[in-house]
Amino acid sequence: MPVVRIDLIKRDDPTLGRRIGEVVYAAMRETINVPDRDNFQLITEHDAAHFVFDDSYLGIERTDAMVFIHLTISEGRSVELKKALFQAIADGVHEKIGLRKEDVFIYLVEVRKENWSFGNGVAQYVT
């Protein structure tokens, strides 16, 4: 059910985006009960000129190491679960990748279950 987009400035380590994705998937599994194998991600690296952000919005000091993590998920999870998910992602990226939590920007969009097709032109979640 989730689709994850990870956007970051291109770095010397070509595995960085994929490793961040692994942390995100693990956090989704543990906090919002994403099923096994339900892992769909788009990882995009940008040159610095095409990666725009405010370095201190809301008093959070950001660096060029910032990553955008966009989650599109089915609607229906509580605010508490979403907060736990955000914290698990930030903590995991910090602990496993070494990025600062301040540089982890997460945004979540919820969609109704009838808005998904996982292939064959079928809305698999519609009963």
What is the SS3 assignment for 112?
Answer: coil
Cα–Cα dist 55/61, whole Å: 6
Q: Kindly state the helix (H) or strand (E) to which residue 53 belongs, with its residue range.
A: none
Cα 23 off chain centre by: 9
- Of the listed 1, 2, 28, 53, which one is catalytic? 2
Pair 106, 67: CB distance under 8 Å:
no
Cα–Cα dist 106/124, whole Å: 27
Pair 70, 111: CB distance under 8 Å:
no
The answer to whether 35 is a known catalytic residue is no
Paired tokens of 39: 């892992």
Residues catalogued as catalytic: 2
